[in-house]
Amino acid sequence: MIPVETWLLFAGAALVMVLTPGPNMVHLIARSVAQGRGAGWISLAGVLAGFVFHMLAAAIGLWAVLLAVPVAYDLVRLAGAGYLLWLAWQMLANRGASPFVPSALPPQGPARLFATGFVTNLLNPKIAVFYLSVFPLFVSPARGDVLGQFLILGTTQIVISGAVNGAIVVAAGAIGRFFRERPLWMAMQRTLSGLVLAAMALRIAVDDRPPATR
């Protein structure tokens, strides 16, 4: 249904996104360090539930829009490219404080941990914009079953995010300490991620054909 090249390109974009420090990563590291891995795993379950909500909302909404208004593909393509360029600039400019500075957090019960992880992801603007502006770039009505394509890509993104964030929960203390003690590595990670996202954005912007036809 989705060409392997298109799927691999999307998987690469999803991997870069999850490796980019943001609210989800900061929350999981902080909670795992403050309350242990068990709390981190429960928080991660909430985060993944938030991904499922984002995926279903974006898939159903964008599926209807792309089928009703074919020209909308070009609009979301350019919007997605612009978003990727903006995110690349944010990383290359290295703005903001390090997300790995530890903070004291009060303990929470399982239900609260799950709910906090869910809400953290639900209100994460990076994830919302990624689903709304980047997902449609890899979907083509010409392949048929647009909703099915969204669900395949969404499942791919959730699996990748779950694997990476699971590793973060396991090694939260070591990851935070590593980057705090080695700011050069943090800068290198930001630079590499920024360049990859910029390259993806430029490719999307200059090629007006859906990924399925490349």
pLDDT tens sequence across 68-81: 555 555 665 666 66
Winning range, highest mean pLDDT, from 19-23, 108-112, 159-163? 159-163
Examine the pLDDT at 177 and tell me if it is beyond 50: yes
Mean pLDDT of all residues in 182-211? 65
Q: What are phi and psi of 54, to 5 degrees?
A: -55, -45
pLDDT digits (tens, 9 = 90+) for 80-113: 667 667 766 766 775 544 555 555 567 889 999 9
Mean confidence (pLDDT) of the chain: 76
Residue 4 Cα to chain centre, angstroms? 20
pLDDT attached to residue 165: 92
CB distance 79 to 166 below 8 Å: no
